[in-house]
Structures are given as C-alpha cells and as structure tokens.
Amino acid sequence: MINAIWGVAQAPFKREKLALLPQQKHIFDILKIHAQQGGFSVIIGEPGVGKSVLREHIEDLDQQREYTVVSCCRTLHTYRQILWQLAESFKLETNEKAIENDLIQTAFAHVRERKTLYILIDEAHLLEVHVLRKLRLLFERFPKNHNLIVFGQPELLHYLSLSTNKDIKSRITYSASIKPLNDDDMERYIVKELETAKMGINTFDEAAMALIIRSAEGNLRLCRNVCYASLIEAARETKKVVTITHVNYVLVQPHWRSHEELIKQQVAS
C-alpha cells in the first residue's frame, strides 16, 4: 500500500539492513580494535535503542574471509544448550562429551588461519549468573585474539557489579551504553529514511514530525514503528502527507498508551 501511494520500491522504516548511526559506528570501530588484542566487551542499552542493529553488523563480518563470527541469541537455556548453539554457529560436528574441547580446538583452528574471532551473546541479562561464569571459564581457554561481546539491558551491569561477580566484571576490557537519540538526531534519522526510500522530506508535516519525536522518546524501534504505522494510516486515506491526525490514529492504540491512561479509560467506562 505504501509503495503504491508514494511510488517507491522500498518502504522506509522497514528496510532489512539498517545503517549504523554515529553512536553505533563508534562502538563498532572500538570493538574491532579490541578483537585484535583479545577482549571481553559488554554492550548495554534499553530495548529498541539499536543493540540488535549493531549485532547484525558484527555478524555481517562473517562474510569476509578474515573474520569468523559465532553467536548465541537464545539465552534462556542451560549451559550445555548454549554450547550447542555455539557449535551450530561454528558448523561444528561434535558430541556431548567432547563439545567443550572441540569448541576450543575449533577456535584455535580459525585463529591459525589468521582470522579474527567474534563470539556474540545476545540478551545476556537473561543468563543465569552461574551459566555466564561457566562461559567465562570456557572462553578463558580460547585464543587471545578474539572478542567475546555480550549484549544486554542495563541490569546486566548491575548483576556484574555484585561482589560475588567481581571475577567476571574484572575481565571486562570494554563496555558501552547505547543511549536514546536526542530530538535533532531523531529528526535526522527520519529524514534519512525518507531520502533513502526516495520520498520527500516533507512526507511528515511539521506537527506530525514533532509528535513522533516526542512520543518515541529517542527510541529507534519505537520511532520506526510509529512512522511506519502513520504512513499506513495516510496511505489508507490515499494521502501523500502524514499529518498529526494520522499519527494520533496510531498513538491511541492500547500498546502506545500509558498504563495510567488505560486504567482511567476502564474506570470511566
């Protein structure tokens, strides 16, 4: 519908591959340096601020000959199940008894081929601490020129700051927090998405743009969702300019409204 109304081949805010924003690019460059020396990196941020986009760009390095990237995204599992995820990512054929040793030997084999090794663990705040500790002990036996990167929400650093977890926190070589965007950066992001899709920068009128930025509160995922939903509302009316009315059609949906507003609505009814 959006493609037909605006005459574009690819709708904005729904592109499969998103470019790194300056904040993410800065972190990405530092992670590559730490990988050359051997690193244990922690990237934290609230849901929707851009951790997944950064992780996907690191995973794309696996397409280059000089890098090997293995990842684990399903962290609500036991230690052994996570090892099997890593073995699958390594394309490693092994058995239950030999899996730890085979992972270590495979890592050394990749490094001997002069490859830089990245190990990514997403949603690390969901890991049981004893599982994270076992993983840390395993990766201690990996070759030095690799970068273990864990992504998680801010509570991850709180867990690691507990005195019982000092053995883990003391090994962190780099950490970064991905912050929500400020209003100017958010507007630049929206305009860039429109330009990439070859849509006019005035597709959202001034009032609509201001309301979107205020509602998203610097969160990239929320911004993409409300922009895309607002475009759908405008396309439904065959309008080529998104107005504040279209944005409000989106923001009155229950999942956009605050808990207190929903309670007041229920009491009033």
DSSP string spanning 4-24?
Answer: HHHT-SS-TT--SSPPPPHHH
* Structure-token match 């004893």, residue found: 130
DSSP string spanning 66-84?
Answer: TEEEEEE---SS-HHHHHH
Task: Please give the residue range of the domain that contains residue 53.
Answer: 22-177
Confidence of residue 158 (pLDDT cuts 50, 70, 90): confident
Q: Is the pLDDT of residue 262 over 70?
A: no
| Alpha helices (H) in 39-177, listed in sequence order | 51-60, 79-89, 99-112, 129-139, 155-161, 166-169
CB 113 within 8 A of CB 67: no
- The pair phi, psi for residue 116, each rounded to 5°, is -90, 130
Element (H, E) at 235: helix 220-236
Q: Is the pLDDT of residue 191 over 60?
A: yes
CB 115 within 8 A of CB 66: yes
* Domain match, 164 and 257 both: no
**What is the spatial distance between Cα 106 and Cα 108, in angstroms, rounded to a whole number?**
5
CATH of the domain at 73: 3.40.50.300
- What pLDDT score was predicted for residue 261? 57
In Å, what is the CA distance from 166 to each residue of 45, 162, 174?
Answer: 21, 7, 15
* Domain match, 170 and 202 both: no
- For the chain, what is the domain count? 2
- What pLDDT score was predicted for residue 11? 86
Strands ordered across the beta sheet of 67-72: 67-72, 116-121, 146-152, 39-44, 174-177
- What pLDDT score was predicted for residue 258? 63
Q: What is the CA radius of gyration of the chain?
A: 22
**Domain final position from 177, 207, 226:** 177
More confident residue, 164 or 241: 241
Ranges 8-22, 79-93, 111-125, 199-213: which has the least confidence: 8-22
* Domain match, 203 and 168 both: no
* Domain match, 81 and 163 both: yes
In sign, the C-alpha dihedral spanning 95, 72, 69, 174 is: negative
Confidence of residue 189 (pLDDT cuts 50, 70, 90): very high
* Domain match, 56 and 165 both: yes
| 52: nearest Cα among 29, 81, 77, 18 | 18
**Domain final position from 118, 147, 177:** 177
Identify whether 122 is part of a domain: yes
- What pLDDT score was predicted for residue 35? 86
- The pair phi, psi for residue 53, each rounded to 5°, is -65, -45
Percent of the chain with pLDDT over 90: 65
CB 160 within 8 A of CB 131: no
Q: Is the pLDDT of residue 228 over 50?
A: yes
* Domain match, 147 and 225 both: no
Residues 242-256 have a mean pLDDT of 91
Confidence of residue 167 (pLDDT cuts 50, 70, 90): confident
* Domain match, 252 and 138 both: no
* Domain match, 31 and 124 both: yes
Q: Is the pLDDT of residue 163 over 50?
A: yes
Query: Cβ neighbours of residue 127 under 8 Å, at least 6 residues apart?
Result: 75, 121, 135
Q: Is the pLDDT of residue 260 over 80?
A: no
At residue 39, the 3 state secondary structure works out as strand
Percent of the chain with pLDDT over 70: 95
Q: Is the pLDDT of residue 219 over 70?
A: yes
Residues 141-157 have a mean pLDDT of 89
